[in-house]
Amino acid sequence: MSIRQGNTIIANKTVPSVYTAGNGIVVNNNVISSKVKYIYETEVEKTTWRIEHNLNDYPSVTVVDSAGSVLECSVKYDGPNVCIVEMNLPCTGRAYLN
């Protein structure tokens, strides 16, 4: 499965035909449904990502590492414009907020 933003592939992942990646994000037959409101990307390996998204909301967060694997992580909110993602191991990748 490829996760795309427009015509650009932003992640590749082998998943079952129906996969729930987080609140509001569902992959069904390789089609991701949901409008991603904000994408955070880091190339620095860290166990904690502080994401200032300025969405004035508490969005769901899906984290994908640089290899394209969806990660389980802890998400905390520091108000309606900042979320903090914590992982067991340092990694690089992207967080998709919706």
Q: Domain segments of the chain: what residues?
A: 2-97
pLDDT for position 22: 52
Rounded Cα distance, 92 and 49, in Å:
10
DSSP structural state of residue 80 = T
What pTM was estimated for this model as a whole? 0.66
pLDDT for position 98: 86
Confidence of residue 16 (pLDDT cuts 50, 70, 90): very low
Rounded Cα distance, 33 and 48, in Å:
27
